[in-house]
Amino acid sequence: MPIFEYKCKSCGEEFEKLVFGNPEIKCPKCESSDVMKKFSVFGMSGVDKPFAGQGGGCSSCGSSGSACSSCG
């Protein structure tokens, strides 16, 4: 169930909508259907391993280098 971000071209309202299928999207503020889907970037939290291309570094905090200033 994807959540998309939209911006109303009529009133400028920005909102999110949980989308099932291909429904008509309307602005919750002014009820206009003249909306555009915004480009959105997803984030991840709780990732144990570094992403491809990222060095390991400090095993405690993940900073670059052999040891960070906080962990020693």
pLDDT in tens, the chain (72 residues): 688 999 999 999 999 999 888 889 999 999 999 999 998 666 556 656 555 555 555 656 655 555 566 565
Q: What is the pLDDT of residue 3?
A: 87
pTM for this predicted structure: 0.53
- 13 located within any domain: yes
Give the integer Cα–Cα distance in Å for 12 and 30. Answer: 10
Q: Helix, strand, coil shares of the chain as percentages rounded to 5? A: 0, 20, 80
Q: Which domain holds residue 26?
A: 3-37
Give the integer Cα–Cα distance in Å for 42 and 69. Answer: 30
Q: What is the pLDDT of residue 50?
A: 57
CB burial string 15-38: b at 16+ within 10 A, e below: bebeeeeeeebbbeeeeeeebeee
- 20 located within any domain: yes
- 27 located within any domain: yes
Q: What is the pLDDT of residue 59?
A: 59
Contact 35, 26 (CB under 8 A): yes
- 50 located within any domain: no
**Number of domains into which the chain is organized:** 1
